[in-house]
Amino acid sequence: MVPVRSSSPVSRRAFLARSSLAAAAAIAGPGLLSACGSRGGGDATTFLSYLPLETLSMTPELLALAGGHFAEHGLDVELQEVQGSPQAMQTLISGLGPITRIGQIDLMTTVADSDQPLVCVGSLTRGTSQRVVYSTENLSLETPEDFLDQTIGVPSEGGTSDLVVSLVLANAGLDPDQTAKQVVGLTPGTFNLVQQGELAGYVVSIDTAHTVVAQNEDAAVFDPATLVASDSQVYVTTEDDLQDNAEVLEAFMRAIHDALASVVADESLDETLETLRGENSFTALDDDEIARQALTELRDLWSGGDADAPLLVTHDEAWVSGYEELVAAGLASPDGDASAWFDNSLLPGA
């Protein structure tokens, strides 16, 4: 795990400065103990990410660091990975960090089923950013019916990717139990299992999907967005932190907003890529064609295809519809009040 950190020392005390560090770390597990132990001196701020850092899915945070947006808003942020969205939510609830980014599905199923005090403070995407890659040499995954009686690779059992596959089937009137899931790695190399026929396909990020297609002539992509509405990426805090750390959270969200706005305004993506590459290097970012394809798709997901649309705002109708989709599929308790699970007050213009 390689921490990524901004270069500007800025005072920031509240993000992880909690007296309950030891007890909360014990709840969250050994991975988190490692993350907390490496955050350094009193001025350091740690953002715990359930996504790998070396993916263009992390562009908002990577660009907020490399482009100086966190520093401009008085924050000194360090990025470190945690082991999936469950640990990210445990981190918030246990008091080790005031904000993370997870899937809308993770948030809604957790709050609806166990009434955890989590609140969405910004919706990053206007649709799913996950893709299913498969080999045309073996079969086609162009329709939900093609998924029946097949095995699909997912990064974690019961996680967002797993539930997205279930939603693809449920929303088409099919039984999700007729598709098996197998936990696999997220790297392009996992495509070997698809080519060998051990998997029908597997769920990956947008930039990994482009990488797999670039490296394999038989690779093709299924986009779940044609059938799934509730899989957005959302920034999440706790009800307590929304009250106690509003100033810091607002600075964080404004820095993310500025980073996103800079990409939306950068039609050629030249400036975005130059800034990201100034402090980062990984396969999808270093390949110019893959990086531009992935960033173009991500930019459209952030803006909903409208460059003038407000970024990060959670829209009540779409939010509630997403919850209703999960309830209809039997993936979330029907007794929740989804309108109470988001707050736009930290965003610019609120």
pLDDT tens by residue, 270-317: 999 999 999 999 999 999 999 999 999 999 999 998 989 999 999 999
Q: What percent of the chain has pLDDT over 70?
A: 87
Residue at token pair 């109708």: 317
- Average pLDDT of the residues in 253-270: 97
> How many whole angstroms separate alpha carbon 138 and alpha carbon 194?
8
Pairing of strands 100-103, 118-123: unpaired
- Average pLDDT of the residues in 189-207: 96
The 10 Å Cβ neighbour count of residue 279 is: 15
The 10 Å Cβ neighbour count of residue 256 is: 25
Backbone angles phi, psi at 11, to 5 degrees: -60, 130
76-90, 140-154, 208-222, 292-306, range with the lowest pLDDT: 76-90
Q: Closest by alpha carbon to 7, among 92, 97, 77?
A: 77
pLDDT at 45 over 50: yes
As a dihedral over the C-alpha atoms of residue 109, residue 163, residue 54, residue 300, rounded to 10 degrees, the angle is -90
User: Tokens standing for 200?
Assistant: 């029908």
Question: Measuring CA to CA, how many Å separate 132 from each of 49, 154, 194, 224, 279?
Answer: 22, 9, 11, 8, 30
Residues 6+ apart with CB under 8 A from 267: none
Cβ pair 102, 236 in contact under 8 A: yes
Helix H or strand E segment including 79? strand 77-81
pLDDT tier at 5, thresholds 50, 70, 90? very low
Q: What does pTM read for this prediction?
A: 0.86
Q: What percent of the chain has pLDDT over 90?
A: 70
Helix H or strand E segment including 226? none
> How many whole angstroms separate alpha carbon 156 and alpha carbon 73?
35
Backbone angles phi, psi at 121, to 5 degrees: -115, 10
Task: Specify the pLDDT at position 272.
Answer: 98
Tell me, what amino acid is at 326?
A: L
pLDDT tier at 75, thresholds 50, 70, 90? very high
pLDDT at 266 over 90: yes
pLDDT at 21 over 50: no
